[in-house]
Structure 1
Amino acid sequence: MNEIVEQFEVTFNQIHQHLKELNGFPKNDNFAELLQRSKLKHSVIRVHFDQLKQYAKLRNAIVHERISGDYFIATPHKDVVEHLKKIKQTLDQPPEALDFATRPVLFFKEDTAITHIIEAFDQHGISQFPIYTKERNFLGLLTNDGIVRWLSQTMVDGHARLEDITPKEVLHHEKNTNVEFLGANATVFELEERFEKSLDEDRKLKAVILTESGSPDDLPMGIVTTWDLIKVDRQEDDE
């Protein structure tokens, strides 16, 4: 077989295998179908979707429309093969979730004065902070929306008492408490799967917190929101 054609087919088949894996090895393992499904879930596939779709047509022409022996109706250009190999390499070694996380993570303990945290919202331009017990157990995610909600429900005659108020008291007013945890060495694919699964289950995932072991009781190394996922697409577009 023509060497350039062989490289193209081998690489294409390896990418096809990745798509099967990303979709849980479904019975229908048609490349085009897997590509479409993967596009909805994974940024790497989204960015390369159009190219992979065209490469699939080229592959079908090579496999199904061979004229004779090593004489093919179409032969991939060397640049096409090199680009296909780059896509395959990205699937082999996907970026780490930590690359797209906000870090370092500023967090507070349950007995921190709420006035101090309110100042931190303004000073750091961050909209949410993880809260931990004195034993470093995760209590919840305190957001600026949660504080506003707490204020609106506790104000009397236009005034609210902030003295001696701690985040533990305010956490009860958080509307969305859905937070999940992943190990710091997780891939961006695993990260995206968490958000995709939450959508499938009709529950909005507020954030994914990355810790060394993936345990909620480890201190946070990074935090990812849906806004951070936009950075995944942008980074891929730049490459």
Structure 2
Amino acid sequence: MNTIYQSYQLSERFEVAFNQIHDSLKSIVKINDDRFKTLLDIGVRKHQIINQYYNDLKQYAKLRNSLVHDKKELGYYIAEPHLDVVTHIEKIASIFNRPNYALMIATKEVITVNYDENIINTFQTIKRYGYSQYPVYRNKECVGLLATGDIVKWMTENVRNAVVELAEIKVKDVLKTVRNHPIEFAAKSIDIFSVEDIFENKHKNKIYLEAVIITENGKSDELPLGMVTAWDLIEIDYTVD
């Protein structure tokens, strides 16, 4: 294989990968503007995958413009991207293109508590699993989210002479006296980008969503298959190496 053919192949591979990423950005960001830089700048504020590769993609956009705009004839590029650069952008393109289901990052073992359960039993559940949030179910339907901090707050507000009587207290009694924890439901087919959009849209309306509970069809009366919090989205690790 001669040098000219190798150069052409690397440049063409780079351009193909860049175009794949551009198409993916259009699908992810969903705005009425197809410009790569605009998609990148808006998307970085909403999606972790774009944030992770933002600086790389800015540089690749400059290289792509040089390759395309300075091309003098078919098959001839004025600059040749290094093989490492081509390999890297191809790996990024594959990450952007592959289906990223939200269940991939969701907490798989969702531990629930019963609305009418005695709070002492809930203490045992918390001690066993150590989670900070538990979906609450009443008659097989999710009616809210119980946080361990809610219990502490309730206890501090109901202490009498350094004693809190818990024998007759149920989960519902705690839920009725603490702030609501906004949650949403989504089907198991939902992807990570769509979950990020749910959090972003709620935030725009000054609703600070605490979790998206994933069920078979996105209904509140189905068993939870996973739960995604805002922290889970921050912790997404998109690795190309």
Confirm or deny a common fold (TM above 0.5): yes
Q: Does residue 16 of the first structure (1) align with residue 18 of the second (2)? A: no
Q: CA deviation at 1:149?
A: 2.2
Regions of 4+ moved over 4 Å: none
Q: Which residue of 1 aligns with 2:178?
A: 174
Q: What is the CA distance between 1:68 and its match in structure 2?
A: 4.3
Task: Name structure 2 gaps, 5 residues minimum.
Answer: none
8 A Cα contact 1:61 1:74, kept in partner:
yes
Matches within 5 A, 1:66-215: 66-133=71-138, 135-215=139-219
Deviations 1:47-72 (A, max 9, x none): 11121111111110011122444432
CA distance in 2, matches of 1:129, 1:146: 11
Task: Out of 49-58 and 197-206, give the one that drifted further.
Answer: 197-206
**Paired residue secondary structure (2:45):** helix
Counterparts of 1:95 and 1:139 in 2: how far apart (Å)? Answer: 28
Q: Tell me the CA shift for residue 82 of structure 1.
A: 2.7
Pairwise CA RMSD of aligned residues?
A: 2.0
SS of the equivalent of 2:65 reads helix
Greater Cα shift, 106-115 or 88-97: 88-97
Aligned position for 1:236: 238
Alpha-carbon offset, residue 237 of structure 1: 4.7
| CA drift at 1:105 | 0.8
CA deviations over 1:163-221 (Å, ceiling 9, x no partner):
12211121112313200111123211122222222222222111111111111111111
The 1-side partners of 2:137 and 2:66 are apart by 58
State how far apart, in whole Å, the 1-side matches of 2:171 and 2:145 are. Answer: 10
Extract unaligned runs of 5+ from structure 1.
none
- Cα deviation, residue 6, structure 1: 2.6
Code of the residue aligned with 1:22 in structure 2: it is I
3-state DSSP class of the match of 1:41? coil
Residues 119-178 of structure 1: per-residue CA shift (max 9 Å, x gap): 322332211111111x30111111112112222333323322211221112111231320
Residue 60 in structure 1 maps to residue 60 in structure 2: no
Tell me which moved more, 222-231 or 211-220: 222-231
Aligned partners of 2:92 and 2:240 also within 8 Å? no
Write the letter of the residue equivalent to 1:101: A
Q: For 2:231 and 2:75, how far apart are their aligned partners in 1?
A: 50
Number of residues paired by the alignment? 235
Q: Which amino acid aligns with 1:10?
A: V
Instruction: Tell me the distance in 2 between the aligned counterparts of 1:21 and 1:136.
Output: 36
Percent of residue pairs bearing the same amino acid type: 37
State the AA in 1 paired with 2:173: E
Counterpart AA for 1:138: C
